[in-house]
Amino acid sequence: MIFQLDTSTKKTIGIAALQVRIDANNCNDLKKAFSHWLHYSPNIVFDCSGLEFIDSSGLGAIVSCLRRALELQGDLRLAGLGPKVSLIFELTKAKQLFSMYPDTSSAVASFSTVGSA
């Protein structure tokens, strides 16, 4: 997982590129890394363009990340979700919890417009 900071919108936004697969084997790594990323910014974008598979544990981990970001008055937004991963978000109604964007730049820009924390 690659993490970087974006300051182009006068706000510090963390962008994390998720790996190919998030499942029971690596969801705890994501949770740990997210705790670390929150030190830099409570506003984070997950770049899901490389994410090809997510199971319920992975989904749970992402929801837990969202909850922690919200607790710090921040937000977690998702960008570049592929059709397969979107199916899971739709099926489990997780789509209703997240703000989703077609790419990271629009997700980053969204923090300085509507709904920004």
Partner 1 sequence: MKTIIITKGIEYRWLRDIFPGRHPLLVTLCNKPFIEFLIDFCILAGSTGIRIISDEVMSDVEKHCENGSRWGVEISYANLLPTDNVQKVIEKNSRFCSNERVMVINGLLFIHYDKRSDYRSFFASLPVGEVIECSNGNISLTGAASGAEHQEGAPPLSLPVVDGIDKYYRLAAGILHERLTHYVLPGYNNEPDCFIGRNVVLQKGVSVIKPVIIGNNVQILAGSIIGPGAIIGSNVIIDRESRVSESIVMDNTFIGEQLDVDRKIAEGSLLIDPESGCSLTMEDPHLLSGIKQPTTTGSALQWLAHRIAAAWMIMILLVPYLVIKPFLEWSGLLKTKKIVYHSVIPGENVSLTFASIEKKSVLGTIALFLSLDRFTWLFKVLNGHFALIGCRPVRTDQTIQAANNNLGLYRPGVFSYSEAEKWPENDIDSDIVDHYYAVHSNFIKDISMTQKALFNRINQESSI
Tokens for 27, please give them.
């969801």
CB of 24 to partner 1, least distance (A): 9
Tokens for 66, please give them.
């969202």
DSSP string, 91-114: HTTGGGTSEEESSHHHHHHHTTST
Establish if 3 lies at the interface with partner 1 (CB under 8 A).
no
Name the one range near partner 1 by CB under 8 A: 10-18, 41-49, 80-88, 100-108. Answer: 80-88
Complex with partner 1: residue 72 or 87, whichever CB lies closer: 87
Q: Distances in Å between the alpha carbon of 24 and those of 7, 58, 70?
A: 33, 6, 24
Establish if 92 lies at the interface with partner 1 (CB under 8 A).
yes
CB of 80 to partner 1, least distance (A): 15
Complex with partner 1: residue 25 or 35, whichever CB lies closer: 25
Q: Are 15 and 3 in contact (CB under 8 A)?
A: yes
Instruction: Point out which residues bind partner 1 (CB under 8 A).
Output: 23, 53, 55-56, 83-84, 87-88, 90-93
